[in-house]
């Protein structure tokens, strides 16, 4: 008897990429050739990474996206299925699967160039797949697929009474039509600076940006600051969570891991502060490992880490 997929709690509408990862001592200067010392191919894409992070933290997840009719596409689909993710709504198109070329240096910082490929063909008609999934409690969005499709998916879930979480990465102008549908906005400092039209380089400026972004419509605005922690702004005010101190070796997928773990905790009934704390733990463990999806931890692994301290009111 064929086992039907469980009804999802989280629908991730977004990108799937194969990551081509090069380890380098430092980023090369213009016109310079450096000797690299490692190369791997890892399943990635912000949408797929966040789906994996949700699933490994115990949520039931469905992925909606597009891959090509190629080996990368087959591998991307199989990897998600291996994590228990419902892949029935991942379409296959004639365009090549998306890829990302990633340089990771000795300081664990990454530089990424993305070739969208099949992801660019995800359209508003694909968002209609979300109509079959409106029993899910949460829709998770990024900006690696066309904006028209993002707005359509957000509108469907908003109108059905579900929660919409948006991670506007890579950062781009967001249409006015999208903001009213967003319940939770999660940005890093670069994205916050662009969307709030201000400099964001410390806790104080991130606080101001979070307040400004919340005024655009989201009930909750979250700004991640890497080793400087996380800012949360909601109706209870604004507060700062300190990061856990770890030895980072690769920051690839850290943001995706934070968001996925946060969303898994949220649909499990946690309030936003415990959900943020779980996201911080998961991201801290992620950066101690190389790669994208292969670095994303499972929920039981977080027991190895110290608890996140209580936030400081700002």
Is residue 183 part of the annotated active site? The answer reads no
If phi over 0 gives left and psi between -120 and 50 gives alpha, with beta otherwise, what is residue 45? left
The number of beta carbons lying within 10 Å of the beta carbon of residue 217 is 15
Strand partners, 64: 13, 89
> Of these residues, 126, 183, 250, 256, which one is catalytic?
256
CA distance 35 to 23: 9
Q: Which two tokens stand for residue 69?
A: 């009719």
Count Cα atoms within 13 angstroms, Cβ side, for 175: 13
- Asked if 97 and 76 count as a contact pair (C-beta separation under 8 A), the reply is yes
Q: Which residues contact 197 (CB under 8 A, 6 or more apart)?
A: none
The H helix count followed by the E strand count for the chain is 8, 14
Strand partners, 222: 186, 232
Residue 164's SS3 state is strand
Q: Which residues participate in catalysis according to the annotation? A: 256
């Amino acid at each position: 008897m064929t086992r039907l997929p469980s009804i999802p709690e989280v629908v991730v509408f977004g990108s799937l990429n194969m990551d081509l990862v090069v380890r380098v001592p430092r980023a090369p200067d213009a016109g310079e050739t450096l000797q690299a010392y490692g190369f791997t191919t890892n399943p990635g894409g912000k949408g797929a990474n966040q789906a994996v992070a949700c699933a490994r933290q115990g949520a039931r997840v469905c992925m909606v996206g597009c891959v090509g009719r190629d080996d990368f596409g087959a591998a991307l689909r199989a990897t998600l299925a291996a994590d228990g993710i419902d892949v029935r709504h991942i379409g296959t198109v004639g365009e090549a699967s998306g890829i990302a070329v990633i340089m990771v240096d000795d300081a664990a910082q990454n530089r990424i160039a993305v070739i969208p490929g099949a992801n660019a063909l995800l359209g508003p008609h694909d968002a209609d797949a979300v109509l079959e999934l409106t029993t899910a409690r949460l829709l998770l969005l990024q900006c690696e697929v066309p904006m028209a499709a993002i707005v359509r998916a957000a509108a469907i879930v908003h109108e059905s009474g579900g929660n919409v979480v948006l991670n506007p990465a890579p950062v781009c102008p967001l249409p006015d039509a999208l903001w009213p549908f967003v319940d939770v906005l999660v940005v890093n400092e670069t994205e916050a600076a662009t969307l709030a039209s201000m400099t964001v380089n410390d806790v104080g400026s991130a606080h101001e940006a979070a307040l400004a972004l919340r005024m655009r419509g989201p009930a909750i605005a979250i700004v991640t600051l890497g080793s400087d922690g996380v800012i949360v702004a909601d109706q209870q005010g604004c507060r700062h969570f300190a990061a856990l101190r770890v030895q980072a070796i690769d920051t690839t997928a850290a943001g995706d891991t934070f968001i996925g773990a946060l969303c898994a905790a949220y649909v499990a009934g946690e309030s936003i502060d415990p959900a943020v704390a779980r996201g911080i733990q998961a991201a801290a463990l992620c950066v101690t490992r190389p790669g994208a999806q292969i670095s994303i931890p499972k929920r039981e692994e977080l027991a190895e880490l110290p608890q996140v301290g209580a936030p400081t009111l700002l």
